[in-house]
Homo-oligomer: A and B are copies of this chain.
Amino acid sequence: MPRNTVLVFRSTHRYNTPRTINDISLLAYALLGLLQQEPRSGYDLRKIFANTPMGTFSDSPGAIYPALERLAKRGFVRSRVEETSGLRRRRLFRPTASGIRAFKTWQTRTIVREDVIRSVDELMLRFSFMDETASAADARRFLKGLKSELGGYIPALRKYLAKHSPNISLSGRLALESGVRAYETLFRWAKAALSAYHKRKTGGARR
């Protein structure tokens, strides 16, 4: 009787880390974050993805509307049809208490190496809403965690680069170098961001 064998590739078992606790997609978190700023319609959200630097997300209606539907089904948002205007009806969405909780839990998770390796963009999304949906202390904790993970990862990358440099092509080496530089820039950014928060806390103009 065959049994067991739930596992293969133990040491390396990685695949992709599940991207969220509540099993909701990155797009869905982006929506949830935006809805906490103010209630919005699907169309409002599409416009944001089409016209702002949040444009890494798709503004496709086939992505947005079903994602909102799923959020509603899980009880993270609720919607109401606006009746006031003469325009076509708009469905305005807003997060529920449970949605707000889920968002904050995701947003304030401890940063681990894996996040830095595979989902810097998710980290930046989490951070970008900090002031609106978490505390300044959370923001500082985030930045410290990021600094610390990068501080461990960058030397590892540099070491890898040094070790394998001789065996790879110029273009391969340069591509790797570009990755390392990007991380170093992020590290410097984290330090600068942290000092911006300290400045705001201790002295500078309030708010």
Q: List the interface of chain A (C-beta within 8 A of B).
A: 1-12, 14-16, 46-47, 50-56, 58-61, 117-118, 120-121, 124-125, 127-132, 139, 157, 160, 169-172, 174-179, 181-186, 188-189, 193, 196-197, 200
Contact = CB atoms under 8 A, between A and B. Distances in A.
Copies in the complex: 2
Given A12-B50, A12-B59, A189 B181 contact: yes
A95 B1 CA distance: 32
A129 B171 contact: yes
Contacts of A157: 53
Nearest to A193: B174
Contact of A5 (B51, B53, B130): B53
Given A15-B58, A181-B189, A128 B53 contact: no
Contacts of A121: 2-5
B56 A3 contact: yes
B59 A7 contact: no
Contact of A124 (B9, B12, B56, B175): B175
Nearest to A60: B15
A75 to B, nearest CB: 27
B171 A56 contact: no
A170 B196 contact: yes
A128 B171 contact: yes
A177 B131 CA distance: 15
Contact of A55 (B52, B117, B131, B181): B117
Contacts of A124: 4-5, 175, 178-179
Nearest to A2: B120
Given A15-B58, A182-B182, A175 B128 contact: yes
A167 to B, nearest CB: 11
